Amino acid sequence: MENYFIGIILLFFGAIFSLFFKKRKIEFITICSITASIFTIQNAIKVFIEGTKEISFNLGTIFQTVRFEMDYLGAFFVLFISVMSTLAVIYSKGYLKPYLEKGKDLSAHCVFLPLLSASMLLVATCFNGLFFLILWEMMSLSSFFLVIFEHEKKEVLKAGLKYLVFMHISVIFIILLFALLINNSSSLDFAQFREILADNPVLSNVVFMLGFIGFGIKAGFVPFHNWLSEAHPCAPSHVSGIMSGVMIKTGIYGILRIISLMTVFNPQIGYFVLIISVISALYGVIYAIGQHDLKKLLAYHSIENIGIIGLGLGLGLLGLAYNQNFVALLGFSGAILHILNHSIFKELLFLGAGSVYIKTHTRDIEILGGLIKKMPYTSILFLTGAVAICGLPPFNGFISEFLIYFSMLKGLSVDNIFMFLTMLLGLSGLALVGTLAILCFTKAFSIVFLGEARSENAKNVQCDNGISMILPMGILGCLCLLIGVFPAIIFNFILKITSIFVNVEQTFEIIPILQIISTTALCIIGAVMVLSIIKFKFEKRVENFETWGCGYNKVSEKMQYSASSYAQPFTSMIKPLFKKISDIKKPKTIFPKEAHFEQHIEDVEEVYFIKPVLNSIENFLTKFEKLQNGNIQQYIMYGLIFLIIAIIGVVTVG
């Protein structure tokens, strides 16, 4: 574990000493992040080769012995946290350049960016309940300060504060979880938690539900998702990539860690997780279709993919509850692989959205278009991420979703009517999610990158972004393809992590299928390459001549689909699920000079639950505004009145 802690120290070193750099702050923390990743990745790889590593520190009577353990699950999270965070930091150099040119102070950003990475890495390996809570809070606060990077904007500050409130609601449930475990075990160590849970099934169920709510808020399960759709769009794109690709997965890590401590599994828990996950997946993708903010669209897809991961977890829990080892193996393996896959393609998509924003200064899909001509690398890489997130071969999203599908198909054979009906629900839900994801990303890619520019923002783009932004996206795009083409290799790697939860010897059915998928993917790629070579080598020269236009003079952006019109047939079908806000200026003549139609949808939870509650609280508090009038004498009077009441109370009780 020495190399691991050297990497952590380097991240803290980068955070602190970046304050002493007047210039080159980003370059400094980039070097620190890359070096730290080399050390942490080296330690994680060693765990997969040699087995679990641990180290302990005696921190006195309060914390007792603080143990850091890196098992297969911890090593997996350390690996992808290190890689994803480092790629985002490299990307940040190009993304933050316009802000530097405008004179923005990046000191706080350069402190909290490595702190976020360090806290996530420590959370994945800490096995002391009290110290875990401190690291969890450090992670939440670091990400909060990164979200409010543009705090001068009212909507950004509002989203950041909302995120902070949700994170502290989350931590209340996690504190209750650890208080319950510590009270029953008289220890802060996770190993003791496992022993007391083994003898108490009722306590296991209560602990799991507290953990699922607490960690589920961080992950973004419905109905705990509301912070996610606002915080992610407001943060800088590399921070959005880290938060969506990596940080929300620490919530999944918390749920997985609780499952690893349990030995008795109640099927009702599995049904609950699976149903919540289907709802989350459908909710996320449906709301994504109606979004016109590119980053908000991606944020709702994070909710969708957390639902897909939850499907795998629910299947794993049901497999364990009904002693269906192969169902559990496929479910957990699909969930763990989708954690990795979603981290890769979602960070790629957020970085792509950031590249578009830096060049066009807008996230509004409605006024973009034609960017594939100006930004070819960004366009191709965004398309790669879009195909991957839709679960289409030969990219990585297909493999993890295939494992989850296969698990549900095996679950149909279980001799239980509830299991059979739940598997049908899961299969139909996941199939519908995949279809809607394709609808959403055909809208996003075509409106943003294809056709003609719809505004001056898009027309004024001259070239693609620099190497510091393209390189991380290129690496992520390659990872999407490699996992999709060589699934058997990555599955054998995932099996080591799955072995924490279930016996992994029964893999004879799945390995040959994955090898067939690999062979088919290689054949498809080979055929595409051969056809491309033939096309470019033997393609005849085409010359363009002006001809009679049949009244069609030239292409106009007004002739194209808008994002609203593209999604409108679908959104009209499911009106009760959200509140629609339409902005329309109807044409009044046969040949109007202008007409306008735009449609937005609002989250029903926000409109009908959160806003009314907040308005009620605000109305109640306004009744006390007169008490806070800035008069010092009146404040002293309040203090005296309180003191007199306290004295009377003490005398009376005495």
Q: What is the DSSP string of 327-359?
A: HHHHHHHHHHHHHHHHHHHHHHHHHHHHHHHHH
Range with the lowest mean pLDDT among 21-30, 238-247, 469-478, 589-598? 589-598
Range with the lowest mean pLDDT among 195-209, 245-259, 602-616? 602-616
Q: Mean per-residue pLDDT for 509-537?
A: 87
DSSP 189: B
Cα–Cα distance for residue pair 396/348, rounded to 1 Å:
13
Q: Which two tokens stand for residue 416?
A: 């239980």
CB 99 within 8 A of CB 236: no
Q: Which two tokens stand for residue 544?
A: 């363009």
The better pLDDT of the pair 79, 18 is held by 79
Cα–Cα distance for residue pair 318/316, rounded to 1 Å:
6
| For the chain, counts of helices (H) and of strands (E) | 28, 4
Q: What percent of the chain has pLDDT above 90?
A: 61
CB 181 within 8 A of CB 129: yes
**Rounded to 5 degrees, what are φ and ψ at 312?**
-60, -40
Range with the lowest mean pLDDT among 36-45, 79-88, 223-232, 615-624? 615-624
CB 224 within 8 A of CB 166: yes
pLDDT number for residue 625: 63
Per the omega criterion (within 30 degrees of 0), is the bond before 98 cis?
A: no
Cα–Cα distance for residue pair 477/469, rounded to 1 Å:
13
Cα–Cα distance for residue pair 614/621, rounded to 1 Å:
11
**Mean of all residue pLDDT scores within the chain:** 88
Q: Mean per-residue pLDDT for 393-402?
A: 93
**Res. 629: pLDDT tops 70:** no
pLDDT band at 580 (very low <50, low <70, confident <90, very high): low
Range with the lowest mean pLDDT among 11-25, 195-209, 301-315, 588-602? 588-602
pLDDT band at 496 (very low <50, low <70, confident <90, very high): very high
> 527-550 pLDDT, tens per residue?
988 888 887 777 666 666 666 666
pLDDT number for residue 226: 87
Q: Using alpha carbons only, give the angle 572, 577, 582 rounded to the nearest 5 degrees.
A: 50
**Rounded to 5 degrees, what are φ and ψ at 188?**
-100, -5
Cα–Cα distance for residue pair 207/197, rounded to 1 Å:
9
Nearest to 51 by CA among 83, 74, 81, 80: 74
Range with the lowest mean pLDDT among 124-133, 288-297, 553-562? 553-562
**Res. 359: pLDDT tops 90:** yes
CB 421 within 8 A of CB 274: no
> 148-183 pLDDT, tens per residue?
999 889 899 999 999 999 999 999 999 999 999 999
pLDDT band at 605 (very low <50, low <70, confident <90, very high): confident
- What SS3 class is residue 469? helix
Q: Mean per-residue pLDDT for 616-636?
A: 69
Q: What percent of the chain has pLDDT above 70?
A: 92
pLDDT band at 624 (very low <50, low <70, confident <90, very high): low
pLDDT number for residue 213: 95
> 268-305 pLDDT, tens per residue?
999 999 999 999 999 999 999 988 899 999 999 999 99
Q: Mean per-residue pLDDT for 373-402?
A: 94
Q: Which two tokens stand for residue 438?
A: 């394709």
What does each C-alpha distance from 567 to 166, 562, 600 come to in angstroms? Answer: 31, 9, 10
pLDDT number for residue 596: 65
Q: Which two tokens stand for residue 283?
A: 């909710």
**Res. 551: pLDDT tops 60:** no
Q: Which two tokens stand for residue 412?
A: 């149909």
